């Protein structure tokens, strides 16, 4: 079973007021996460992946750089590319109305999700973001993830028109995430539609029977390990894990969140030790078989792993 370690790389400014004043501090936090204990944002992620010889897929959001300057985007992609990791496209259209000159005719108000834009507008937004990222990276972009997992049929068609053939936007725990495609194809395993092969974020049942996306900051290490083993035993071909550049930081500050950092380190150690059975790879359609029926068995985690995660969450609030 192929395992895909994916990371959404974003920069935010604590709201939309006073962007120019907020940006330098927020950029430093989201990209570097400077602290007395080290840099626990993007540099720490890259360091841990390198330690265990693992390959990640970094979906980088470029629209912010059309507001603040291309150099800020170049610094991000240099960090990732110099570490031998993969860069792909992520879009948060919330930035669209902050860009001057406007890249769309209608930017009179903020529209959060890509699904709030017409097909033609999605084509232009993806084209614009792809150009920004390819100019910064110096390489072609082939894969995409929508911000907030908000995608629809228009998104897939807009990706195809921009020469992007792989998507990883669908998250079965988010109702806004391509509901019409999920109804037809499901959200558990890869599928092909409208010229796009999509690899959904993997979702599992936790120890309480609740559906949970495989996200580093939201799952305990034992839960994630159990879900991986369960998926492999159910003959899944691909398991997609998601994280963000800021997940190893405490909310709103640059102090490290050592509980999440320990989770990520343990996960990478486990994957590094099990590369034969659980190879960590980029996305590829080679040899991919689209499995039916749609009602597939979701991986499961044990009650003990979920209970431990709840204890960790309590500890995160007080440490």
In which band, very low, low, confident or very high, does the pLDDT at 319 lie, cut at 50, 70 and 90?
low
What pLDDT, on the 0 to 100 scale, is given for residue 293? Answer: 45
The size of the chain, in residues, is: 319
Q: Taking a C-beta distance cutoff of 8 angstroms, is the pair 237, 288 a contact? A: yes
Task: Tell me the whole-structure pTM to 2 decimals.
Answer: 0.95
pLDDT digits (tens, 9 = 90+) for 54-105: 999 999 999 999 999 999 999 999 999 999 999 999 999 999 999 999 999 9
Q: Name the DSSP class of 137.
A: H
Domains along the chain?
2-318 (3.20.20.370)
In which band, very low, low, confident or very high, does the pLDDT at 315 lie, cut at 50, 70 and 90?
confident
pLDDT digits (tens, 9 = 90+) for 258-271: 999 999 999 999 99
In which band, very low, low, confident or very high, does the pLDDT at 312 lie, cut at 50, 70 and 90?
confident
pLDDT digits (tens, 9 = 90+) for 32-48: 999 888 899 999 999 99
What pLDDT, on the 0 to 100 scale, is given for residue 205? Answer: 96
């Amino acid at each position: 079973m192929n395992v895909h370690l994916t990371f959404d790389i974003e920069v935010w400014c604590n709201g939309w007021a006073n962007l120019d004043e907020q940006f330098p501090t927020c950029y430093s936090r989201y990209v570097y996460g400077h602290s007395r204990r080290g840099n626990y944002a993007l540099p720490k992620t890259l360091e841990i992946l390198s330690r265990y010889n693992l390959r990640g897929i970094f979906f980088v959001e470029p629209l912010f750089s059309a507001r603040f300057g291309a150099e800020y985007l170049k610094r991000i992609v240099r960090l990732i590319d110099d570490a031998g990791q993969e860069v792909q496209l992520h879009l948060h259209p919330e930035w669209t109305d902050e860009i001057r000159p406007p890249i769309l005719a209608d930017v009179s108000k903020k529209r959060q999700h890509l699904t709030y834009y017409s097909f033609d507008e999605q084509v232009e937004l993806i084209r614009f973001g792809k150009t920004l990222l390819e100019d910064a990276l110096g390489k072609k972009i082939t894969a995409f993830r929508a911000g907030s997992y908000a995608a629809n049929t228009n998104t897939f068609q807009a990706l195809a028109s921009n020469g992007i053939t792989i998507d990883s936007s669908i998250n079965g725990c988010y109702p806004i995430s391509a509901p019409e495609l999920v109804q037809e194809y499901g959200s558990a395993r890869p599928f092909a539609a409208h010229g796009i092969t999509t690899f959904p974020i993997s979702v599992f049942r936790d120890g309480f029977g609740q559906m949970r996306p495989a996200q580093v900051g939201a799952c305990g290490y034992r839960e994630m390990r159990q879900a991986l083993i369960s998926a492999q035993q159910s003959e899944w071909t691909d398991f997609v894990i998601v994280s963000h550049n800021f997940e190893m930081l405490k909310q709103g500050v640059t102090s490290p969140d050592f509980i999440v950092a320990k989770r990520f380190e343990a996960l990478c150690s486990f994957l590094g030790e099990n590369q034969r059975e659980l190879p960590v790879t980029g996305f590829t359609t080679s040899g991919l078989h689209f499995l039916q029926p749609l009602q597939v068995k979701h991986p499961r985690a044990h009650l003990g792993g979920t209970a431990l995660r709840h204890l960790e969450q309590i500890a995160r609030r007080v440490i």
